[in-house]
Amino acid sequence: MIAGIHRKVIKKVKIMLPIQEQFYTFQGEGTHSGQSAYFIRTFGCPIHCPWCDSSGTWHPDYKPDKIERISPESLVAEVEKTAAEFVVVTGGEPAIHDLRLLVDGLHNIGQKVHLETSGAFPIKGDFDWITLSPKRWKWPLLENIKRADEFKIIVDQDRAIEEYTSVIGVTGKAIWLHPEWSLHNDESVLDTITEWVKRHGAPYRAGWQMHKHYAADLKDIRSAKPAPLGGDPAKGF
């Protein structure tokens, strides 16, 4: 070794992902509704939608005291025990994490990997299917809009459909219109979706969270308890 030259030691960092929950169920939304799916829900999101299924992102009473950090290898091993047709990585906002090792590991066992994202952050990973659900608190990146395979609009107020379609732009890909779940019995919201689909046709489709009627996710004890919805912490939902 030449004097004065020192070998640079590169320390390999082990990736550990913050996971709020993981469970085996079926996909209750969108193009792949009714198919068996393994869900991996990462923790954390800087957007804080006030009706997110991950209530810990916006409701102070539901923020977890501790979040388990799990290696991609361990997550893959859990998926491998099931007969899932694909894996759904969701959140929170999963794209704030580096998901490349997880996606690669799942591909190595023959699994297709779907992503559910707001599209507001760069996507790291070679996903087989991307569902993009734009949020007005932080608009999606143009590159992600182009990359998405389907879109999901949450109808939570008047003119929400117009607001989000102006961001998505012209597309031949399915645009699912979902009532915000605390309003899923609200006649005006349901009528708005119905009339929009009747008036415009494709690519718009009326959407629903079918898994909630089955309580499908709750059959796996690793899933989180039902969360409050509606965006009003003062009222407890």
Give tens-digit pLDDT for 120-143: 999 999 999 999 999 999 999 999
pLDDT over threshold 70, residue 231: no
Domain interval for residue 138: 17-150+210-222
CA-to-CA distance for 235 and 237, rounded, in angstroms? Answer: 6
Distance CA 218, CA 211 (A): 10
pTM beyond cutoff 0.75: yes
Whether residue 90 lies inside any domain: the answer is yes
User: Would you say residue 28 lies in a domain?
Assistant: yes
Q: Residues near 72 by Cβ (< 8 Å), separated by ≥ 6?
A: 15, 17, 101, 102, 105
pLDDT tens across 165-178, in order?
999 999 999 999 99
Q: What is the pLDDT of residue 64?
A: 78
Whether 20 shows a pLDDT value over 80: the answer reads yes
* Residue 187, in any domain of the structure: no
Q: Does a structural domain hold residue 103?
A: yes
Give the separation between CA 147 and CA 121, rounded to whole angstroms.
13
Confidence band (pLDDT; 50, 70, 90) for 14?
Answer: confident
Q: How many domains, the chain?
A: 1
List the CATH number of the domain containing 21. 3.20.20.70
